[in-house]
Amino acid sequence: MTAPAPKSMDAIMALCKRRGFVFQASDIYGGINGFWDYGPLGAQLKKNLRDAWWQDMIMNPCWGRKGPNGQRVQCVPLETCIIQHPKVWEASGHLAGFADPMRKCPGCGHFVRADQLWDVLVSTSEWFSSMIQEFEPAPAGTQTPVLDSQRLLKWARGKGKRLAPNLALVKNPEVTLAWLVTRVNGQPEAPPDVIEIVRHVATEQLNATGLQDPCPRCGAVLGTPAPFKLMFETFAGLTHTDDNRVYLRPETAQGVFLHFKNVVDSSRVKIPFGIGNSGRSFRNEITPRNFTFRSREFEQAELEFFCHPDESKDWYAFWRDFRMDWWKSIGLAGENLILREHAQDELSHYSVGTSDVEYRFPFTSPGFGELEGIAHRGNYDLTQHQTHSKVKLDYFDTTRGELLPNGGRKGERYMPHCIEPAAGLDRGALALICEAYTRDDTRPSPEFLKLHPRVAPIKAAIFPLMDKDGMPEIADKLTDDVFAKFGRYGFIETDAKQSIGKRYARMDEAGCPFCFTIDGDTLKDQTVTVRDRDTGQQQRIGVDKVCGFLTEKLGL
């Protein structure tokens, strides 16, 4: 099946700003790259998402679904500091390993993450999107756009000079083109794909250097990959010395491993059980982009689920499947979600298996972008912290081991294995908004958000049709009733101004699922109209049935 045409990211971002979902951080100072703030509706949307995660992962894990051991799943929460002892990051491997290989452009000074070069180039490079239009599109069933040397030459001497002044094709078009033509004509049975074509146009001295990789900004040949530290540093204490150097956490998971023993000793949890932790994480991403998708400050919701090594594969499969079902349950359409199992060479050295829940964002379409990673981490983290802290972190399991004459068990000591579903709440909120964004030009308000009622920031709106004849009083009373019952889940709006059409349009754009209108008939028969956001259809129900209606529809 082919993917539908992607929605316009510009339109989605404009709606987010217009309706107060997302603002650029430090907006009035021109913004700061990689940081985003949430406006009133966005803050509530994200809270609803966080609450849904908390409810379905910790308070009533997996909706009461039984785990592979046939028992209810058991989880508890934790809240840990952003700054921890620097040794934590030594033990976790972040200090040494959390450095993405970066490539620096000698032409314009731009950095690009080595593993994201092609992705960045295809999705953001101005010169690339201009140059590729000079090729005929790839014939059906092939990956190779058809080369027209004359058009490419013209581009190199014209637009190319402005867009990619440092590209080999622009600096020395005849020589560079000659290599490309030789390649295309020389092996007609194995034509070059887009990446190979781009590498050709970046290469002047093919024999001397081999194919080169261009800078997405200016086209110069990128330097070799070198590590770049992704952790933000600061100092705890008055002096800025190495002794006081600390780090802002790049993930919430480590806080859990630090308190594994404290949680076991202080609560009644027994393996298998999970510990959830959610909060801000920081990564000095080299190319923050795609709106909130890749930010430098973001929020994670992570669960570390500890189990016996023999049961870990079953728990891994269990969590992987549940997390897919969960994202669907809050409104992400099945065809826009995939579960992608990592290939062996993609896995971290300690990982026994990892799957990503990926969503087809407009900027990744027809491909997908990671929303959540579910990793089988083996016993790597607990073992690392045990080694570095010298505190024993293994677990004594009284339900295992040899059967004793008294009917009890001898017990077994082991280092638990850990399954980690690690979700990003900002990417989650962005996926929900992208999925919900709908444009229908036949409607009076063409843009609206079909947000799932559970996450919608406004749960209901109550309108008096006119600001007179007793209608505002009934609306006030109904608002009080609805607020008392549902106010803790989101906004309950009321508005007596403007035409009713405009009021509906405002609510549609904000993703409010239901509007109730008090009109002339309400005064006679105590009924109101309820309008469905997605269909625009209206029905009448009794004023006294509104709370029951919302209880059923909001599914809270």
Site residues for ligand ATP per CB under 6 A: 251, 283, 285, 294-295, 298, 300, 370-373, 422-424, 426-427
Q: What are phi and psi of 237, to 5 degrees?
A: 125, 170
Instruction: Decide if 523 contacts 459 (C-beta within 8 A).
Output: no
- For ligand ATP, give the closer residue by CB, 105 or 301: 301
Q: Tell me how far, at minimum, the Cβ of 112 lies from ligand ATP, in Å.
A: 14
Q: Determine which helix (DSSP H) or strand (DSSP E) holds 113, and give its type and residue range.
A: strand 111-113
Q: Tell me how far, at minimum, the Cβ of 525 lies from ligand ATP, in Å.
A: 50
- For ligand ATP, give the closer residue by CB, 45 or 475: 45
- For ligand ATP, give the closer residue by CB, 249 or 452: 249
| Whole-angstrom distance, CA of residue 82 vs CA of residue 278 | 11
- For ligand ATP, give the closer residue by CB, 134 or 302: 302
Q: Tell me how far, at minimum, the Cβ of 13 lies from ligand ATP, in Å.
A: 16
Q: Determine which helix (DSSP H) or strand (DSSP E) holds 525, and give its type and residue range.
A: helix 520-525
- For ligand ATP, give the closer residue by CB, 422 or 528: 422
- For ligand ATP, give the closer residue by CB, 372 or 519: 372
DSSP state of 382: H
Strands 395-397 and 412-414: antiparallel
Q: How many CB atoms are closer than 10 A to CB 472?
A: 16
Q: Tell me how far, at minimum, the Cβ of 370 lies from ligand ATP, in Å.
A: 5
Among candidate residues 438, 107, 127, 78, the one with its CA nearest the CA of residue 261: 78
Q: Tell me how far, at minimum, the Cβ of 345 lies from ligand ATP, in Å.
A: 15
Instruction: Decide if 48 contacts 457 (C-beta within 8 A).
Output: yes
- For ligand ATP, give the closer residue by CB, 251 or 304: 251
Q: Tell me how far, at minimum, the Cβ of 24 lies from ligand ATP, in Å.
A: 15
Among candidate residues 200, 232, 239, 247, the one with its CA nearest the CA of residue 219: 200
Q: Determine which helix (DSSP H) or strand (DSSP E) holds 315, and give its type and residue range.
A: helix 312-329
Rounded alpha-carbon distances, angstroms, from residue 477 to 464, 491, 515, 544:
11, 16, 15, 11
HSE-up (13 A, CA, CB side) for residue 375: 20
| Structure-token match 């009373």, residue found | 477
| Whole-angstrom distance, CA of residue 455 vs CA of residue 449 | 12
- For ligand ATP, give the closer residue by CB, 283 or 454: 283
Q: Where are the beta strands (DSSP E) in 196-352?
A: 226-229, 233-235, 245-247, 273-282, 297-307, 337-341
* Closest residue to ligand ATP using C-beta atoms: 424
Rounded alpha-carbon distances, angstroms, from residue 381 to 258, 315, 346, 349:
9, 17, 19, 12
- For ligand ATP, give the closer residue by CB, 67 or 288: 288
Q: Where are the beta strands (DSSP E) in 333-368?
A: 337-341, 353-359
Q: Tell me how far, at minimum, the Cβ of 294 lies from ligand ATP, in Å.
A: 4
Q: Tell me how far, at minimum, the Cβ of 422 lies from ligand ATP, in Å.
A: 4
Which of left, alpha, beta for 470 (phi over 0: left; psi -120 to 50: alpha)?
left
Q: Tell me how far, at minimum, the Cβ of 215 lies from ligand ATP, in Å.
A: 21
- For ligand ATP, give the closer residue by CB, 304 or 372: 372
- For ligand ATP, give the closer residue by CB, 212 or 287: 287
Q: Tell me how far, at minimum, the Cβ of 225 lies from ligand ATP, in Å.
A: 16
Instruction: Decide if 320 contacts 355 (C-beta within 8 A).
Output: yes
Length of the chain in residues, anyone?
A: 556
- For ligand ATP, give the closer residue by CB, 91 or 423: 423
Q: Tell me how far, at minimum, the Cβ of 393 lies from ligand ATP, in Å.
A: 22
| Whole-angstrom distance, CA of residue 465 vs CA of residue 516 | 10
Instruction: Decide if 419 contacts 374 (C-beta within 8 A).
Output: yes
Q: Tell me how far, at minimum, the Cβ of 300 lies from ligand ATP, in Å.
A: 5
